[in-house]
Structure 1
Amino acid sequence: MTEKKHIARATERKIDAIEFEMSRDMGRPKTPPPKPSADPLKRTEPNQFHSDFIATDFQSTIALNLPTTELLSGHTEIQAHAVSQSESVPILEEAAILFATGQIKVAEHMLRSVIDLDNLGNATPIAWFMLFDLYQIEQNQYAFESLSLDYAGKYETSPPVWRNSEQSIDVDDDSVADPKATPGIMFPSQLDGEIIKLLQKLNNLSEQSKVLRLDFGRVKSVDPVGCGLLLRAIRNLKKSKHDLVMVAAQNLTAQIQNILEVGRRDETEAPWLLLMEILQLLQMKEAFEETSIDYCVTFEVSPPAYEAPANKITTAVAEAPPPNTEMRAEGYFMPRVVEGKTEDLVQEILEYAKSHDVVVLNCKNLERVEFGASAQLLNGLVPLSGQGKPIQFTEVNYLVMHLFNAMGLKNVAAIMPRKHV
């Protein structure tokens, strides 16, 4: 029993820590980046990836014979053959790996140094494009515009254009794109600690609207940490008197029930409490009372009293996706971020491949691929490539492109960079 109490406390601390990190990130002020010092690679973070990096130690391992004007035509309309010749520049691949591992500042300093030293010949413009992409992804418009001035002065051509976040709508974005629709969140197949990012978005939406939509139609599994995080979020929305549209909530209750067993005390009560919270929101009094008795028996406590929700709760069934939503002519749309386990993503790509002669993976919305996830993605695509099906990554940002090149994805798929317009 003592061991289980320790496990329960550890789980609660984990939930607390995840929420603390979210609140700290939300409260962190956004300040203009410092101007590069004389030593642009001076470190403030210890033990960073390749912390002994010095830009002059690296030289391009290939000869680039294409004229700079061709590389720069149409802003960043680099031809595929030009990219293929520059894809093995070690320093650019290392910067991409740093970005993929979350070491954003080190990647930024490295690219800034490459640009300042200007010693990669015709590959140097690609470092500019990578840095433009980094600032765009980080929503650092101040640095982006400063870099634009430098770019225009050096190459005497128009720089890439800053894109406001509302200009790019993700077809799989969890917030509702239609301005007339209720803003909200579509939860992923796994309800675990990773939902903290969605809950942060939900918190932001809660400041803009008193009505929110929570869609649980995709949820296939839950764990105690995810239940604890969602429980706290829902309780906060109740306190703030937000009206809720609950989509496929009974699917979520079924997934929670799958991990519960009467009489078995798990590491936290969170799944039980979340289940009862949702049953109250759905005004399923009889189901709530049955669950509360099971909870009482399991944890040897008094059963909680049923409280009908004070805020307005509307239920809805999950809408069937429009036919071929992700299988349009533009291809299968990759998510904004690829991280953690990629089994579900790979499976969706394989399903797409069954009905298409060419597997087009549209990366218009893709901002970052985690280093470990890129290896999993490669392993998942190798069998598909072995079947002779052409695979194309289109509209790839330059950071992801060089990560893919470094990881060997270029050996199983064509990687086509996006155009800055």
Structure 2
Amino acid sequence: MSRDMGRPKSLQPKPTPGDPLKRTEPNQFHTDFVATDFQSTIALSLPTTELLSGHTEIQAHAVAQTESVPLLEEAAILFATGQTKVAEHMLRSVIDQDNLGNATPIAWFMLFDLYQIEQNQYAFESLSLDYAGKYETSPPVWRNLEPSAEKSDDEGENKATPNLSFPAQLDGDIIKLLQRLNTLSEQNKVLKLDFGRVKQVDPVGCGLLLRALRNLKKTKHDLIVVGAQNLTAQIQAILEVGRRDETEAPWLLLMEILQLLQMKEAFEETSIDYCVTFEVSPPAYEAPLNKITTAVAEPLSPVTETRAESFMMPRTIEGKTEGLVADIVEYAKSHDFVILNCSQLERVEFGASAQLLNGLVPISGSGKTIQFNEVNYLVMHLFNAMGLKNVAAIVPRKQS
């Protein structure tokens, strides 16, 4: 197949005055798309003056990318409200008119993202040829994504591994974190547990973590365990041979972790101490059946420590967002720099974006910095329109 690689006169297919776009929802409208006189169809009236409190410096390149472009924000809102075809035709019109100056390439990137999300590879590649001809540079590359549902186990291994970082205090407050762990375990075969920050444990926290680890062992989840030896040291610090505490949970958790690490000799020594303390038969050593990978937590400066990890956003955000916001709030408790990884995020429903904004305002107001990373251009301009750029830095996904 050969194509004219010169500067394209127009993109096909595109709407014409004789081929109006039709909306099939109530209050249907018909419109001819001309980028110069396209009128906004959705009114936004969100107060943003109080959203700036507690917000810190935003990276310069993120600011440049989050400047308001009404036509592009309109297309993003149309996509967010499910009007994908209308958004597509509008972006094509913007590209054909080529009157947005430096913002015009963003319209191309938004259309690339739309075709990627819709898994329309033919349209994506056709657009790539037009882009290469116009700008004389390489277009974005088509990415083979895993289906959002019905993935095989092998396919599931290719996606990002969820990372749960445990706080300095391992106590009863970790129950919300473990609830999130339970949710993630239903969607992921491999989980990463980071105990590098733990500085103190108590029996209640030990009991909660013990139950969670035993459940993961039953379900045969593969684990990446970071800072396990740090955790064992904190548990050993509260144990004393011969002293019977109210619960055996710290002893049992210590032995559970030693088994995960396949440290048989240390397990047997601990089991003897446990036997002497509680006057029971020592438990038998059982090597883990699931795959366990260990890693040592690297010492980090206070600044880089908070930037080292991120909160993985879901593929789609729609409906009520209370659960998602609660998870972000929990993550923010142990992170001054709240990084929201949007590498898998494809679409945010219009109403859900407003709920997400309301949920992030208190976090920003508490003095924490929020940053959306690897955001696709459709979501980025929706966030701009909804005012999320006033509470968070929005860093777009690199086009490669």
Asked if the contact 1:41/1:110 (under 8 Å) is kept, the reply is no
- Counterpart amino acid of residue 119 in structure 2: Q
RMSD over aligned Cα atoms: 3.5
Query: What is the alpha-carbon distance in structure 1 between the residues aligned to residue 95 and residue 18 of structure 2?
Result: 11
2:357 counterpart of 1:378: yes
Seen in structure 2, the aligned counterparts of structure 1 residues 51 and 396 have a Cα distance that, compared at 3 Å, is: farther
How far is the alpha carbon of 1:45 from its aligned partner? 3.1
Partner of 1:145: 125
Query: What is the alpha-carbon distance in structure 1 between the residues aligned to residue 320 and residue 219 of structure 2?
Result: 28
Aligned residue among 174, 178, 198 for 2:154? 178
- Counterpart amino acid of residue 83 in structure 1: Q
How far is the alpha carbon of 1:356 from its aligned partner? 1.0
Query: What is the alpha-carbon distance in structure 2 between the residues aligned to residue 378 and residue 55 of structure 1?
Result: 29
2:330 counterpart of 1:351: yes
- Counterpart amino acid of residue 349 in structure 2: E
2:64 counterpart of 1:82: yes
How far is the alpha carbon of 1:56 from its aligned partner? 1.9
Asked if the contact 2:15/2:21 (under 8 Å) is kept, the reply is no
Seen in structure 2, the aligned counterparts of structure 1 residues 417 and 35 have a Cα distance that, compared at 3 Å, is: same
> Secondary structure, in 3 states, of the residue corresponding to 2:394?
strand
> Secondary structure, in 3 states, of the residue corresponding to 2:139?
coil
> Secondary structure, in 3 states, of the residue corresponding to 2:21?
coil
| Superposition pairs of residues 34-183 of structure 1, within 5 angstroms | 35-39=13-17, 42-46=20-24, 51-52=30-31, 54-58=34-38, 79-84=61-66, 87-166=67-146, 175=151, 177-178=153-154
How far is the alpha carbon of 1:218 from its aligned partner? 3.8
Seen in structure 2, the aligned counterparts of structure 1 residues 329 and 97 have a Cα distance that, compared at 3 Å, is: same
Query: What is the alpha-carbon distance in structure 2 between the residues aligned to residue 180 and residue 338 of structure 1?
Result: 20
Seen in structure 2, the aligned counterparts of structure 1 residues 103 and 49 have a Cα distance that, compared at 3 Å, is: farther
Write the deviation string for residues 257-314 of structure 1: whole angstroms up to 9, x where unpaired: xxxxxxxxxxxxxxxxxxxxxxxxxxxxxxxxxxxxxxxxxxxxxxxxxxxxxxxxxx
- Counterpart amino acid of residue 141 in structure 2: V
Write the deviation string for residues 141-184 of structure 1: whole angstroms up to 9, x where unpaired: 00000100110111011111011114xx98xx884553598xxx
> Secondary structure, in 3 states, of the residue corresponding to 1:419?
coil
Seen in structure 2, the aligned counterparts of structure 1 residues 34 and 97 have a Cα distance that, compared at 3 Å, is: same
Query: What is the alpha-carbon distance in structure 1 between the residues aligned to residue 366 and residue 68 of structure 2?
Result: 27
Q: Which has the larger radius of gyration?
A: 2
Asked if the contact 2:307/2:339 (under 8 Å) is kept, the reply is no
| Superposition pairs of residues 276-291 of structure 1, within 5 angstroms | none
TM-score, length of structure 2 as denominator length: 0.53
Asked if the contact 1:337/1:369 (under 8 Å) is kept, the reply is yes
How far is the alpha carbon of 1:55 from its aligned partner? 2.2
How far is the alpha carbon of 1:355 from its aligned partner? 1.1
TM-score, length of structure 1 as denominator length: 0.50
Query: What is the alpha-carbon distance in structure 2 between the residues aligned to residue 407 and residue 180 of structure 1?
Result: 33
How far is the alpha carbon of 1:35 from its aligned partner? 2.1
How far is the alpha carbon of 1:130 from its aligned partner? 0.3
Asked if the contact 1:41/1:109 (under 8 Å) is kept, the reply is no
Runs of 4+ in 1 over 6 A off after TM superposition: none
Partner of 1:342: 321
Query: What is the alpha-carbon distance in structure 2 between the residues aligned to residue 49 and residue 125 of structure 1?
Result: 31
Seen in structure 2, the aligned counterparts of structure 1 residues 355 and 139 have a Cα distance that, compared at 3 Å, is: same
Seen in structure 2, the aligned counterparts of structure 1 residues 50 and 334 have a Cα distance that, compared at 3 Å, is: farther
How far is the alpha carbon of 1:80 from its aligned partner? 2.7
* Runs of 5+ consecutive residues of structure 2 not aligned to the other structure: 1-10, 40-59, 158-181, 185-216, 227-305
Query: What is the alpha-carbon distance in structure 2 between the residues aligned to residue 342 and residue 322 of structure 1?
Result: 29
Query: What is the alpha-carbon distance in structure 1 between the residues aligned to residue 338 and residue 74 of structure 2?
Result: 28
> Secondary structure, in 3 states, of the residue corresponding to 2:371?
strand
> Secondary structure, in 3 states, of the residue corresponding to 2:22?
coil
Seen in structure 2, the aligned counterparts of structure 1 residues 49 and 88 have a Cα distance that, compared at 3 Å, is: farther
Partner of 2:242: none
| Superposition pairs of residues 366-405 of structure 1, within 5 angstroms | 366-405=345-384
Partner of 1:272: none
How far is the alpha carbon of 1:57 from its aligned partner? 0.9
Query: What is the alpha-carbon distance in structure 2 between the residues aligned to residue 328 and residue 176 of structure 1?
Result: 32
How far is the alpha carbon of 1:322 from its aligned partner? 5.5
Seen in structure 2, the aligned counterparts of structure 1 residues 397 and 51 have a Cα distance that, compared at 3 Å, is: farther
